[in-house]
Structure 1
Amino acid sequence: MLSLSRRSQEAWIIAGDFNAVVNLDEKRGIHPPNHSSMTEFADAIQSMGLIDAGFSGARYTWCNNQNGNAQVWARLNRVLMNSSWANRFSLFRVEHLPCSKSDHAPLRLAFPSLSPPKIQKTEEELEIVDSRLQIDPIEALCQEHLQIKQKLEELELKEEVFWKQKSRNAWLDEGDRNTSFFHTSVTERTRRATIHSITLDDGTVLTNQEDIKVAAVSYFQTLFQEEEVSFTADFLCFIPHCVLPQDNASLQFPPSREEVYSALKSIPKDGAAGPDGFSASFFIECWNNVGKDVHKAAKAMFAGMISQEQGAFIKGRYMAENIALAQEALRDINRKARGGNLTLKLDLEKAYDRVNWSYLKQALHKFGFNAKSV
């Protein structure tokens, strides 16, 4: 298989029972998977440049059909594909069907309809003109051949830029032309992000895409819906008044054009494009033309609102330090202390999903922000 993967550029897949898993999540039972077996299998997949095709349906494909603690589940059956297959059949998917007579679940491969891209059509046009040119090399055909060739080069360049921006891989050297790599990166991420089925709270499984869309919209509408929160002014007394009048003035003072350009240059050029489809590279290279508009659109940044006691957004501090601090506190929770020890765990499930705007505005005013800044 390693020899085939190295010498063949054709699209191909390999599927079946590999009798191995690649991580701990792919097995459930009293005995954990063998670490050396997992490592060897993962190394083999990587050395052949293969990609796991993913799946929809049940997580595991094999069961030993035992009862109680002796029952073992594992994902032993899978489909692996090379990059050529991933690029050619980007919407191809694998479905885990229910086990019936066998202890292994059957796999179903689903292929959507495909339409030829513009590049393929242009290549076909170039091939036709090439054939005619070999028979009768007249000037008109030579000009047509040159025009189609230039068109093909432009389409290939546009495709490369498009997939490079969508792939979010900014670590390749500038000038590397590897559209296949970028396309594979996006295809693999899209495959992982595609939702083929969801299970509702009542156990209902939805597989129809329209039903999934309706359920997703309903879920997030409920999640982001503002709830009534009762609070008194006593809660606000703990907020320090730390924003001075000169701070409010600086917040309302627009940044200079040099400051905006300096901030823009700190963004990776090959990072993901924004909603408008342009990456930072476009604004940097075209600054002389678009700089004025970007400068007008820039907003003043909040300053002085980050507490020195917090672990994130402070130079030299890391959020992981909070985890280490919590572990250290819990380890000493039984140590005798005057008044005893107390650990309080807060449920912050929706802390950043939604806010109560009335309370937020009052809190900002308490910090010292004036009405214009708020």
Structure 2
Amino acid sequence: MADNESVIITVVYGASEVIDCRNLWITLETLAQQCSDIPWMVGGDFNAVRDLNEVCGISGNIRMATEEFNAGILEAGLIPLPMQGEWFTWHNCSSSMRSLWKRLDRILINDRWLARFPSAYYHSLTPRTSDHSPLNIWHHEIVGIPMYAVTRKLKALKPVFRLQRRNKGDLTMNVQLAKGFLDEAQQLRRVMRRILQINDENGFRHTDLGEVAHEFVSYYQNLLGGTRRRLSVDIRYLRPWARHSITDEEANQLLLPLSADDVKQAMFDIADDKAPGPDGYSSRFFKAAWPVVGEEVTRAVLDFFSTGKLLKIPE
């Protein structure tokens, strides 16, 4: 940013009552007129949510507060700054059925800020439930190869996350119920997709489940271990059917060493809903915490491709 360039940052701490919040929305509308030609950022605790997906738990009627909040933002010409990290930013610290989570904290910007800082974003950390935050745990120094350091820190994070889950009250129970329903649905799907009969290579039909399984095993034994495996194939006969043959340049590209960008792209290409690995951490965790853990995870991955050493998965 140039020395003579100015920006305006407004810090917000919203009132808890709807009628008092109206003064804040009016103030933001007034400030917007003064900041129309200057990059402007507004952030803090607005004490209001924008829609129902920003609330988890039993809450009172928030329709009027939500409508007025969205109208105030619209009139002020503010848009959300991209966010990474935790979705909910506030918890009522209850472990009972009244446990409540909300997204009350956020950062908004005007179009001038977006034009001047198009790649800016902010990171929302987990609401504190103990004296140790995930950020502090991750920054502890651990002696060892990069992959060992990452696995030790991931293991150290688990007690913190378990405590947070307990403080979220009945959310854990809901997750277990959902898993139960999913298991039943998957079991039903397996039953529906079961093969009840099969014809062998001579055309005879088999309906006994044991015979069906035997025919499958027999087929693949012949396919993978039969005489066909010993037949040589001239690759030249396959070329007319090949859609694309790589050039020498493309082949050389495949041999290039991995970069940090390659590691990040591979991680972010994994869908959020993919099953977690043996350590219990899904790709969604690493994406959300990438500003904190990305550098060390990348170093561990690159170290593996350089040395070929992989830690044994603990039993």
Greater RCO (CA < 8 Å, at least 6 residues apart): 2
Specify if TM > 0.5. Answer: no
Q: TM-score, normalised by structure 1?
A: 0.30
TM-score (norm 2): 0.35
